[in-house]
């Protein structure tokens, strides 16, 4: 499972296996408490997305899953992704048409995504002050937003250092 995990995801202060364990355990608990099924394919897709903090495209997931499940079709992957999105376990990175695992999947939330253009790592930040200011702006525009995701492209901490 960790074979495809690249070293660049692991910094001295970051144990990514811990990220994976937390994400999977949270997902399992949430699905049980909501009475929904984390089927083997949904579980597998979630694990593959959590291989790193990089945004992953649906067709990459399909390539990754085929060795262990040759019956997997694009529709299978998309259905699993829809489920994970619905349950708030992953986020869609609109600007890349890709997906990342959510670090705080227990609650519905707005998200600020910092997307590195070099390593494709995505950092999710809750940025409460940003969203507060945004809510005021929406209110003064008499606009009711359905979704609020802010995506910012740039260089992450480790790529800046290189
Ligand atoms: Zn991690
Ligand atoms: Zn999130
Ligand atoms: Zn980077």
Q: What is the pLDDT of residue 97?
A: 94
Distance 138 CA to ligand 1 centre (A): 34
CB proximity list for 17: less than 8 A, separation 6 or greater:
2
CA of 105 to the centre of ligand 2 (A): 6
Enter the pTM of the model.
Answer: 0.85
Where do we find the tokens 């227990």? 106
Confidence at residue 66, expressed as pLDDT on a 0 to 100 scale: 85
List CB contacts of 145: < 8 A, sequence separation 6 or more: 138
Within-domain flag for 1: no
DSSP state of 147: -
Residues of the chain scoring pLDDT < 70 = 1-13
> For residue 150, which of 122, 110, 119, 121 has the smallest C-alpha distance?
110
Predicted confidence at residue 145, as pLDDT, reads: 87
Residue 55 placed within a domain? yes
> What residues have CB less than 8 Å from 109, skipping those under 6 apart?
126
Residue 30 lies in a domain: yes
| Domain-located, residue 43 | yes
The CATH code of the domain that includes 112 is 1.10.10.10
When divided into structural domains, the chain yields a total of: 1
The residue segments making up the domain with residue 81 are: 7-161
């Amino acid at each position: 499972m960790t074979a495809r995990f690249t070293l660049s995801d692991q910094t001295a202060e970051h144990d990514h296996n811990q990220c994976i364990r937390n994400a999977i355990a949270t997902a399992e608990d949430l699905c049980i408490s909501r009475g929904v099924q984390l089927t083997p394919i949904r579980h597998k897709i979630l694990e593959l997305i959590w291989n790193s903090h990089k945004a992953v495209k649906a067709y990459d997931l399909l390539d990754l899953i085929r060795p262990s499940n040759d019956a997997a079709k694009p529709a299978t992957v998309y259905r699993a992704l829809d489920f994970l999105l619905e349950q708030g376990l992953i986020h869609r990175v609109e600007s890349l048409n890709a997906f990342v695992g959510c670090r705080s999947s227990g609650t519905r939330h707005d998200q600020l995504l910092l997307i590195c253009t070099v390593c494709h790592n995505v950092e999710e930040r809750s940025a409460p002050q940003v969203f507060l200011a945004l809510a005021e702006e929406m209110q003064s525009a008499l606009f009711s937003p359905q979704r609020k995701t802010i995506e910012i492209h740039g260089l992450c901490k480790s790529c800046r250092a290189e």
